[in-house]
Amino acid sequence: DIQMTQSPSSLSASVGDRITITCRASQGINNWLAWYQQKPDKAPKSLIYAASSLQSGVPPRFSGSGFGTDFTLTISSLQPEDFATYYCQQYNTHPPTFGGGTRVEIQ
Amino acid sequence: EVQLVQSGGGLIQPGGSLRLSCAASGFSVSHNYMSWVRQAPGKGLQWVSVIYSGGTTHYADSVKGRFTISRDISKNMFFLQMNGLRAEDSAVYFCARDYPSSPGFFDPWGQGTLVTVSS
C-alpha cells in the first residue's frame, strides 16, 4: 500500500495567517490526491481533488498543488471556521490511503 | 441535493454481526462507485470497501472474508455486512460516494455511525 505522510502533525496559527500543510506519498501518484477537512465528531468534508481542483462551494482561500510524490494544501488567510484537522488521500493506486492528519489549532 | 444518510451501528460483542446502511438521495447508487471508510477513536481514516457501478467489490485486507458490501438499487441504498467482529473493528464508519469525475475522491460523505465491539 502507498504510505501518505503529512507534516506537520499539528500547528498553531492565528486568524489571518497563511498556512501550508505538506503531504508526501511513498511512491508516485500522478495528481490523484485529495484533501479533506474534519471537525470534531463530524464527517470529513471534501476540499480538493486531483491535487488542485477546488470542490464546489469551497472558499478560494484554499488551494492545492503538487504532482508525483509531493503535495501541499495552502490556506491563504485562516478563518475561525478553518480550525480543524486536515487529511490528504491518494487514489492513484488501490487501496486508497490517507495521511495521518494535520491538526490546525488556534494560537 | 446529493446526500447520504446512514443507519445501523451500536454495541456488539466480539464475534458478532452488524449491518450498516446508507441511503442515497440526489443520485443513483447503481451508477456510482460507493465506499465505506472508518475511523477508530482518536485515529485517522481508513478505507474499508468499495462497490463499483458494475457490481464488482473490493475490501481492505483487514476485513476481507468478514465484511460484505452490497446494494439495493430499488431502494437506492448500500450496505456493509460485518461478521466476525473484533475489538479492532471499533470505529466510526462513514459511507461515501466516489466522485463521478474523479473516482477514489470521496464526496459526499454520510454522517457516520459508531460501531463498538466489546464484551
Largest CA distance in chain B: 43
Nearest to B44 among A32, A46, A101 (CB): A101
Residue with cell 454522517: B111
Which pLDDT band, with edges at 50, 70 and 90, does B38 fall under?
A: very high
Cis peptide bond prior to A8, omega within 30° of 0: yes
Which pLDDT band, with edges at 50, 70 and 90, does B102 fall under?
A: confident
Closest CA to A29 of B104, B84, B61: B104
* B23 contact A CB<8A: no
**Which string of DSSP letters, residue by residue, matches A71-106?**
EEEEESS--GGG-SEEEEEE-SSSSPEE---EEEEE
Tell me the chain A residues in contact with residue B33 when contact means C-beta distances shorter than 8 Å.
none
The 10s digit of each residue's pLDDT in B43-101 is 999 999 999 999 999 999 999 999 999 999 999 999 999 999 999 999 999 999 998 88
DSSP A96: P
User: Could you tell me which chain A residue has the CA closest to the CA of B48?
Assistant: A95
* B103 contact A CB<8A: yes
Distance from CA of A15 to the nearest CA of B (A): 26
Contacts of A36 (CB under 8 A, 6+ apart): A44, A45, A46, A47, A86, A87, A88, A89, B45, B106
Contacts of A89 (CB under 8 A, 6+ apart): A4, A33, A34, A35, A36, A96, A97, A98, A99, B45, B105, B106
Which pLDDT band, with edges at 50, 70 and 90, does A4 fall under?
A: very high
Largest CA distance in chain A: 38
pLDDT computed for residue B100 by the predictor: 86
Residue with cell 446494494: B71
